[in-house]
Amino acid sequence: MPVLLEAENLARSFTLGRKGLFRPARQFNAVDGVSLSVNRGETLGIVGESGCGKSTLSRLLLGLLPPSQGSVMLDGAETTDVTPEEWRRLRQRMQLVFQDAAGSLDPRLTIRAQVEEPLRIHGLPLEMADTALDAVGLGGAMSARYPHEMSGGQLQRVIIARALVMKPEFLVLDEPVSALDVSIQAQIVNLLRDLQRELGLTYVFVSHDLGIVRHVSDRVAVMYLGRIVETAPKAEFYAKPLHPYSQLLLNSVPVPDPTRRKRARIVPGDPPNPADPPSGCRFHPRCPLATKLCREQAPELRDFGGRQAACHMIETARVAPKRAAVPTPDARQEEEVFA
């Protein structure tokens, strides 16, 4: 499959509130050197905990925030240094679906007017809104309503329709269902998958929910404190995550099956402050495998047969899985069965 979008060494720093006139403002890197590529027609799931920079990354990919460093290429064409005018044209090809649906809609406009807005901006025929509204199941009388008259699930449909109305190729979905109840969430997830199949869309699906990411993604990337620590095809990732953080993350997810209770195998400690990241490998203070090397030197993403991970200890852990504090997933399964 051809690559549609490619990000190289993306970084974005923010300035924290200045503490006093005479002190330099503190900088922190919300995203710190992220490279990734998305193939046409696939879904790349980006997983991470709060504060890992996944929302910043999604805005960087779409040029909604200018990067401090690095570049994004769409279809082989650079998007980072183009004029605002060209950017506006590019927006027709790539769109963002927000987590906060209610907040991203103008409260004064009807649903139809919201979905028509991109067409007005780009001078396209307004009838195209009908197709988009029908596609998300909000055609007819529903489209005359205002946002405050609709439920959370319906609002999410509205912003999907608005994102689709210009027939983009590429969507970034930033936690699109995390605010919804399970039964509504399933409706939206199914809708997104149907749309992808019918329209040949390419998705980047950002979420903290490993269950949903498993359901929607073809490939998975795991973020920790502004960096990607592992990328892998979905099946391989869920069968056997390579990075210790991925392993602990996956192991922390409560499985909806009371016969498979996990014993407490917990990521120790709190996530560190993103404004003051640890030296070397950023996961080392919480990592059971950490060594002196990990404390001193940040690991690069390395290739392990079609998947990549940023960890110094992967080979060591593989050689002696029993010795490691974190058992491999296979060994874990047996231990975990609740007697």
Partner 1 sequence: MTWLPVRLARAALTMWLVVTFVFVVLRLTGDPAAILLPDDIDAQTLAFYREKWGLADPLWQQYLKYWAGLLHGDFGISFRNDMDAFALVWERVPKTALLGGTALGIALFIGIPAGILAAIWKDSWIDRTIMTSAVFGFSMPNFFLGILLILAFSLRLRWLPSSGSGTWAHLVLPAITLGTGFAAQIARYSRSSMIEVLSRAYMRTASSKGTGPVRRVALHAIPNAAVPVVTVLGIQVGQLLGWAVVTETVFAWPGIGRLLTHSVALRDLAVVQCIMILLALTMVTSNMIVDILYGWLDPRVRVGAGTAQK
Partner 2 sequence: MVLTVENLEITIDRPGRAPVRPVRDVSLSVAPGETLALVGESGCGKSMTCLALAGLLPRRGRISAGAVQLEGTDLARLPARQARQLRRKSVASVFQDATGGLNPVRTVGWQIAEALRLRKGLTRLEARAEAIRLMGMVGLPDPERRAREFPHQFSGGMNQRAMIALAVAGNPRLLIADEATTALDVTLQAQILDLIGELRDRLGMAVLFVTHDLGVVAQTADKVAVMYAGRVVEANNVRALFAAPRHPYTRGLMSALPRPDADEERLATIAGHVPPIDKLPSGCAFAPRCAEAHAICTSAAPAFTGSAACHNLAAGA
Partner 3 sequence: MTAEANIPARSRTISRPFVWMLSGLRRMPLLVTLSIAFLTLMLVVTVFGRFLQPYAFEQIDLLARMKPPAPLEGFTWTHPLGTDKLGRDLLSRLIVGAQTSMALTLLGTVVGAIIGITLGFVAAHKGRWWDEAIMAAVDFQAAMPWFIVALAVLAFMGNSMIVFLMLMGLYGWEGYARITRGLVLSAREQGYALAVHGLGATPRWIYLRHVLPNIAGPLLVQLTINFPSTILFETSLSFLGLGIRPPMTSLGQMLGEGRDYLISAWWLAVVPGTVIFLTTLSMSILGDWLRARLDPSLEN
Q: Which residues bind partner 2 (CB under 8 A)?
A: 49-50, 151, 153, 181-187, 189-190, 193, 208-212, 214-216, 235, 238, 248-262, 264, 266-267, 270-271
- Member of 38, 74, 105, 326 binding partner 3 (CB under 8 A): 105
CA angle 231, 235, 236 (to 5 degrees): 55
70 and 76 in contact (C-beta within 8 Å)?
no
Query: Based on CB atoms, which residue is closest to partner 3, 206 or 314?
Result: 206
Give CA–CA dist 325/24, Å, rounded. 42
In terms of Cβ atoms closer than 10 Å to its own Cβ (0-12, 13-18, 19+), residue 83 is exposed
Does 13 bind partner 3 (CB under 8 A)? Our answer is no
Per-residue tokens: 39: 């193939």
Q: Min. distance of Cβ 240 from partner 1 in angstroms?
A: 32
In the list partner 1, partner 3, partner 2, none, the entry touching 190 (Cβ below 5 to 8 angstroms by class) is partner 2
Per-residue tokens: 269: 């400690």
Does 212 bind partner 3 (CB under 8 A)? Our answer is no
Query: Based on CB atoms, which residue is closest to partner 1, 23 or 108?
Result: 23
- Member of 148, 263, 322, 323 binding partner 3 (CB under 8 A): 148
Query: Based on CB atoms, which residue is closest to partner 1, 19 or 120?
Result: 19
Query: Based on CB atoms, which residue is closest to partner 3, 106 or 315?
Result: 106
- Member of 16, 121, 293, 337 binding partner 3 (CB under 8 A): 121
Residues that bind partner 1 (CB under 8 A): 19-22, 270, 272-273
In the list partner 2, partner 1, partner 3, none, the entry touching 149 (Cβ below 5 to 8 angstroms by class) is partner 3
- Member of 25, 76, 100, 268 binding partner 3 (CB under 8 A): 100
Which amino acid is located at 130 in the chain? D
Give CA–CA dist 290/276, Å, rounded. 19
Query: Based on CB atoms, which residue is closest to partner 3, 78 or 106?
Result: 106
* Backbone phi and psi for residue 7, each to the nearest 5 degrees, phi listed first: -110, 135
In the list partner 1, partner 2, partner 3, none, the entry touching 267 (Cβ below 5 to 8 angstroms by class) is partner 2
Residue whose pair of structure tokens reads 């991970």 in the numeric block: 309
Query: Based on CB atoms, which residue is closest to partner 2, 151 or 297?
Result: 151
Per DSSP (E only), the strands in 2-157 are 3-15, 27-39, 43-47, 69-74, 77-78, 94-97
Does 145 bind partner 3 (CB under 8 A)? Our answer is yes
Per-residue tokens: 54: 């996944």
Q: Min. distance of Cβ 276 from partner 1 in angstroms?
A: 10
Query: Based on CB atoms, which residue is closest to partner 3, 153 or 241?
Result: 153
DSSP states along 254-319: PPS-TTSPPP-----SPPPPTTSPPSSSTTGGG-TT--HHHHHSPPPPEESSS-EE--TTHHHHHH
Give CA–CA dist 133/144, Å, rounded. 11
Q: Min. distance of Cβ 200 from partner 3 in angstroms?
A: 21
Give the list of residues 6+ apart from residue 282 with CB closer than 8 angstroms, or none. 224, 225, 226, 227, 272, 298
List interacting residues with partner 3 (CB under 8 A).
62, 64, 84, 87-89, 91-92, 95-96, 98, 100, 103-110, 112-113, 117-118, 121-122, 144-146, 148-149, 159, 162, 166
